[in-house]
Structure 1
Amino acid sequence: MTTTPRDTPASRRTRANGDGDGTVYQRKDGRWEAAGYVLAPGDTRKRVRVYGSSRTEALAKLTEKIAASNRGVPIVTAQGSLAVYLTYWLENVAVHHLHETTHTRYTAVVAQYLIPGLGRKKLAKLTAKDVRTWLNALRTVCQCCARGTDTRRSPQAQASRRPRCCAIGKCCRKRLSPLTLAYIHSVLKSALEHAVREEEIPRNVARNVRTGTPRPRRFNPLTSDEARQFLTAAQQHRHAALFELALRTGLRKGELLGLRWEDLDLNTGTATIRHTLQRTNGSGLTTLPTKTISSERRIALPASCVASLRAHRARQAKERQQADTNGIGSGYVFARPDGRPIEPATLTRHFNALLRHAHLRPIRFHDLRHSTATLLLEQGVELVVIKELLGHAHIGVTATVYAHVRLRLQRQAIDLLNHTLSVMPEPTAEPDDGDDPPLCAAPVR
């Protein structure tokens, strides 16, 4: 007769001192199981079970769930829908581990794609086939028609922009890019991975679905001639020091705007990158930690940047005196005349205007960072040095992003080797005076 956990001896199915409101016992397979009641969605109580290799481990997991329940955090179980779990994950888990900007993007992905496509599925019954079918639909369906973007536009927007899709019954065939699909897939994998860690599901089915490696996003770095033209045009701009620092060091836009004078040592010519300035939905324009731990770094400043920063600081002090701002926001290196930080969107407008003034092709501000790395690679600078300058987490990131540059350098090296091997030196004929003995093979022992 098959035994169940209730058939186990009482000595193995007891509640010892310190077990609280839970029951801890050892299963027939040797693992320990702990069960107790916690708060569930809808202000209800639900019995949950956790497992561990020892009594202490199982009890610790149950205690953690009960403690979270006592704080008012509902415990989502695998029997609930994926939509309920994703909402719980965003509000109680991801919010504590992600930057605010990243959490905002995750929330948008969940609301626009995951919940409409898979939200009704039970978390415990979600399969890899469900995920694959949903991703294939995202890949082939026009997103404008699927979400009714064209028909939901306000009358003012429709007046300024002619309807071109579902509003007139003609599909515009707007498809998601492979990079966007990969990002949506990664958000789902992150959510399900946490469900596995909490032992709500046995495995992460999203990891069993292969979407392929998308091609890196193409960018348009400046050539060496265009870079010199850009720097010449920027000399008369109020933010000349910012544009020069961006092109010569490859700092991100947020890192430039978040830079403070206390982060600079102009005597030694170094800068310490600690913060980034971002606009978020919840906090507005705020200073955040760097993108990754590796992004927090110390870099060397070119001599030309040190000179331009000194001139910029002197001009900034005169602006503060004229504006009489009483030191508002005076810590920022690049700020508005009143000392307040610069909006990232405002900097983008200044940058685009400078490109038009310099008669250069339109590029993104982030392409200045790519221009720095590309020009350094073409000058033969080692990849590890560029990785440290840009603040990449791994050298593989640098190698992947700039693979096309390395390929071009390889082509140049191969062509140089081919030229060397093709031009063979002509042998010099020396007159034989007959004095040297004839060549013969020496025996080898």
Structure 2
Amino acid sequence: MKNGALFKRCSCRDENRALLGADCPKLRRKAGTWSSDHGSWHIQLEVETAEGADRVHLRRSGFDTREAAEATLKEIRNLLDLAERAEFPDRARAQIAALIRSALRRRTPLPNVDGIRRIIDLGQPVNSALTVAEFLTGWVEGKKKTRAANTYRSYKGHIDQHLIPRLGHIPLTRLNVAHGNKAFTEIANDARDAAERNELRHAARHRAQEAAHANDTAGRDLARLELAALGPYEDSPGAASIQRIRATLRSALTDAAKQGLVVLNIAKFIDIAPARKPKAKLWTPAREAEWRRTGQKPSPVMVWTPEHTKAFLGRARDHRYYALYSLIAHLGLRRGEALALHWENIDFASGEISIEAQLVQLGWEVAETTPKTDASTRTLVAPQPVLVTLAKHRRRQRRWAERSGDQWAPGPGNPSVYVFTDLDGYAIHPDDALEQFQRLTREADLPPIRLHDLRHGAATMARAAGVDPKILSAMLGHSSTTITNDLYGDVATEAKREAANTIADQLAGLDDDCDFPTSDTF
């Protein structure tokens, strides 16, 4: 039965309750043509896989029309014909037949002809049924030796936490744009919910720290219980991170297309919200007054004036993280770059500080990696006040080590590797640096900014002071001056305007009798 059989059956029974099947007289009209309103179409095909092996029987019932049954039978024959392309046709035919039989029994779509052809041409077993999860897992492991550690970690995090849970079960050859849109809608919704739960965790952790500083043991223990009940922090990617997750999928599917495993890179067509970087805005007196009235920030990225920054550092002067915040405020380091500084990176004689690593946070875990980009690996020159602050901080850290004794992380009497540590010598967790920054900001009664915006403030002051964009770009570790200008061009102009207005206010009255020039007098 090489080409297969096509026939009609029904569920009618005779007087002995035996099924009539294909012998029911109602299946045909008097003229001998098939009845259109009785019974259903069936297909059957026997497949020889190898000499001496049992034949594989392929059957499917319940087709409403002859055309539908014929189309399925033709698709089955096309799939079986692909076995002739394989190195071992009999083996491939048996594998294809097994996939077809499984699909017919489960009444799911037949294997994709183009997908099976590509698998055979690549010399892979047909019945491997390569899933998205299997492909992505193999793909990312292949990047382990060819990508930077943090890039590999980023890929793997995207794949393990977001892509495999939502797309992993799908056969790679059946992955389509609808699957991608559904997955990324779920990622965005889950991220929003996780961010809300992380806010609760953040608040509980902050209450625990506040209670500990106030020697409120009961309050501290209660907050810690709340934090434990909420569970560990969850990954909550924002719009930019979701863009990067899609970029990971797109990169993987580009390689899949090169291997002939997919025809279409569906990641190119997934519809997600654009990640637009907000423009930095200066906390002018008018904006600060409006914030105090409404509680609303004008932009997610706000920058303090020099007066704001001085007020903050004044409030933080006796805090154990003062040297950290002072360094960021003066030199514009990223938080992770500052926290990853080793004492050997600082040359007190020349004032040079080498940026060679960063601390990155994945969920709650922290790892030291290479800097963000090649341009991020750089050498800065610290002003004398910053060097003095760092020297004082080193003496204070040594006193912490003496008090900590056996509990000091590098070991009793050993100097800490990291410049910025907690009271037991461990590197500061990025979230703790942020929490303490926010606490000091509130205590100083300053308008809110992110810790990263302290870096923006340093850049803004340098830009407003007329520092050459190339020098500023190198200081910040940007790969081009375009990035620097896009981020700080507007706010630097605003800062200059504020400075000019301040000078004008101080000199008010000198030109009160002068008329403002019109276009005719220029």
TM-score, normalization: structure 2? 0.53
List alignment gaps of at least 5 residues for structure 2.
1-85, 89-117, 201-221, 228-235, 279-299, 406-410, 502-515
Displacement, 1:237?
Answer: 1.8
Q: Spell out the pairing of 1:113-262 with structure 2 (5 A cutoff).
A: 113-115=162-164, 117-127=166-176, 129-130=177-178, 133-134=181-182, 137=185, 142-143=189-190, 178-201=239-262, 204-207=265-268, 213-217=274-278, 218-262=300-344
Contact 1:253 1:366 in 2 (8 A): yes
Supply the distance in 2 between the matched residues of 1:229 and 1:259 (Cα, whole angstroms). 26
Match of 2:29 in 1: none
The one-letter code matched in structure 1 to 2:312 is: F
Q: Spell out the pairing of 1:16-415 with structure 2 (5 A cutoff).
A: 49=121, 80-90=130-140, 92-97=141-146, 106-111=155-160, 113-115=162-164, 117-127=166-176, 129-130=177-178, 133-134=181-182, 137=185, 142-143=189-190, 178-201=239-262, 204-207=265-268, 213-217=274-278, 218-278=300-360, 285-324=366-405, 325-328=411-414, 330-402=416-488, 404-405=490-491, 408=494
Supply the distance in 2 between the matched residues of 1:246 and 1:142 (Cα, whole angstroms). 34
Displacement, 1:131?
Answer: 6.3
With over 3 angstroms needed to count, the CA separation of the structure-2 counterparts of 1:378 and 1:143, relative to structure 1, is: same
Deviates more, 1:112-121 or 1:297-306: 112-121
Contact 2:398 2:415 in 1 (8 A): no
Match of 2:23 in 1: none
With over 3 angstroms needed to count, the CA separation of the structure-2 counterparts of 1:353 and 1:424, relative to structure 1, is: same
With over 3 angstroms needed to count, the CA separation of the structure-2 counterparts of 1:176 and 1:279, relative to structure 1, is: closer
With over 3 angstroms needed to count, the CA separation of the structure-2 counterparts of 1:348 and 1:136, relative to structure 1, is: closer
Supply the distance in 2 between the matched residues of 1:77 and 1:191 (Cα, whole angstroms). 22
Residues 270-299 of structure 1: per-residue CA shift (max 9 Å, x gap): 1111122345579x5543222222211101
Contact 1:118 1:134 in 2 (8 A): no
Contact 2:461 2:492 in 1 (8 A): no
Contact 2:332 2:458 in 1 (8 A): yes
Residues 347-390 of structure 1: per-residue CA shift (max 9 Å, x gap): 22322222122122333221211222222223332322222111
The one-letter code matched in structure 1 to 2:351 is: G
The one-letter code matched in structure 1 to 2:372 is: K
Contact 1:138 1:176 in 2 (8 A): no
Match of 2:40 in 1: none
Displacement, 1:239?
Answer: 2.4
With over 3 angstroms needed to count, the CA separation of the structure-2 counterparts of 1:245 and 1:177, relative to structure 1, is: closer
Supply the distance in 2 between the matched residues of 1:369 and 1:145 (Cα, whole angstroms). 27
With over 3 angstroms needed to count, the CA separation of the structure-2 counterparts of 1:343 and 1:186, relative to structure 1, is: same
Q: Secondary structure at the match of 1:393?
A: coil
With over 3 angstroms needed to count, the CA separation of the structure-2 counterparts of 1:299 and 1:117, relative to structure 1, is: same
Structure with max Cα Rg: 2
Q: Secondary structure at the match of 1:341?
A: coil
Number of residues paired by the alignment? 334
- Which structure has more helix as a fraction of its residues? 2
Q: Spell out the pairing of 1:425-444 with structure 2 (5 A cutoff).
A: none
Contact 2:130 2:172 in 1 (8 A): yes
Q: Secondary structure at the match of 1:294?
A: helix
Supply the distance in 2 between the matched residues of 1:326 and 1:136 (Cα, whole angstroms). 50
Displacement, 1:263?
Answer: 0.9
Supply the distance in 2 between the matched residues of 1:292 and 1:101 (Cα, whole angstroms). 10
Contact 2:303 2:456 in 1 (8 A): yes
With over 3 angstroms needed to count, the CA separation of the structure-2 counterparts of 1:213 and 1:402, relative to structure 1, is: farther
Contact 1:78 1:124 in 2 (8 A): no
With over 3 angstroms needed to count, the CA separation of the structure-2 counterparts of 1:93 and 1:232, relative to structure 1, is: same
Q: Secondary structure at the match of 2:376?
A: coil
Supply the distance in 1 between the matched residues of 2:394 and 2:465 (Cα, whole angstroms). 32
With over 3 angstroms needed to count, the CA separation of the structure-2 counterparts of 1:110 and 1:77, relative to structure 1, is: farther
Residues 151-203 of structure 1: per-residue CA shift (max 9 Å, x gap): xx9xx99x979xxxxxxxxxxxxx98643442332121122123245453456
The one-letter code matched in structure 2 to 1:191 is: A
Task: Check if 1:424 corresponds to 2:521.
Answer: yes
Contact 1:196 1:202 in 2 (8 A): yes
Displacement, 1:242?
Answer: 1.4
With over 3 angstroms needed to count, the CA separation of the structure-2 counterparts of 1:361 and 1:331, relative to structure 1, is: same
Displacement, 1:301?
Answer: 0.7
Alignment RMSD (CA, Å): 4.5
Supply the distance in 2 between the matched residues of 1:313 and 1:109 (Cα, whole angstroms). 39
Contact 2:181 2:271 in 1 (8 A): no
Contact 1:247 1:368 in 2 (8 A): yes
Could you tell me the percent identity over the aligned residues?
Answer: 28
Q: Secondary structure at the match of 1:225?
A: helix
The one-letter code matched in structure 1 to 2:276 is: R
Supply the distance in 1 between the matched residues of 2:150 and 2:357 (Cα, whole angstroms). 14
List alignment gaps of at least 5 residues for structure 1.
1-33, 37-45, 51-61, 63-73, 162-174, 426-445
Displacement, 1:253?
Answer: 1.7
Supply the distance in 2 between the matched residues of 1:75 and 1:397 (Cα, whole angstroms). 49
Contact 1:78 1:123 in 2 (8 A): no
